[in-house]
A and B are shown apart, each in its own frame.
Chain A
């Protein structure tokens, strides 16, 4: 297990809120997790639960009116380049300062959720990758192009020389996704954040992209934070899984425990409700009643309590359970397992 190693990234009680005219959206409201070197750390949850905002906070690219209002984002830096492996709190850095800019795209790279956002339409993909390489490494333009070309080869782009001189919109969905991965990897990141890297592509392309990411992680021993709402993808990719709901962590643990011994009622219900190619056809699926509340109407207490079949009246609807270790390796925030509530 990875828990023996020192974490590469430790997020502690992170809160990121959006201050809107209509009110405050508490998109991320007290999230804690550790990512270890070489780990594929999966984050699952339905739309709006705060997956992307958590990662934007880590990269310090939360757009206004959003703000990190609490918490620590501790990154253990690589040795060398004048650093001796010290830990810095990214939450305290200036979002556009020199240090944060060298970390973003350098030590931590992002595959963004919107594939078109990754590349500008007015420059060729090659020029953009070369620019990124030159920003983080002291190399000549020519050497940077060589690195970019090698990256395109590594991610399996056919005729890479020609593709470098094309624009993002000229590439098919599958090729564009590979180019984005090539760009993210061009500076040898120690942590790659992949935010729904396969939602926009077809299932056969998805299989290609997932294989590619797995191979890169093995070859380079980089850590990957893999975000998706697809439980199939998470089961196949992640070694450790964190389940989010309405800005909070409901449960986390090793992938096998999450899928074969889920503890939180939300994880259990979510797993039951998905049709699978392995399940019997045309029988009713067990469902979760109701729908995800609007972010302005977050319920009091446990965020899942209005939809929970096991709710303890007077408790779950009044107090918010904290994330606690329950089984050997699993952490759950649910009063069925403990009595610890979130400090207010």
Chain B
């Protein structure tokens, strides 16, 4: 499933979508950035409640397919702009991390 399809399946708000065709290969969730950098795999959809600027750098460095901001966590326009400049796909949902994981498992078979 690609990021476009995942966004519509999960009914996510689209914050930045420079590469909607990117394939989502696996899922990772976590908020501690070094932990994410140590464990997340390339091509993942990374679910987090972190919304500061370092999220864009980490997503880009681990080569995530997209970031999904859970719980409708607030994020500034400036950071959304940085995400699109850096080529980072960024979605947002009002669902919790747990609910997102369950829906992805049920609907996206990941």
A and B are partners in one complex rather than unrelated chains: no
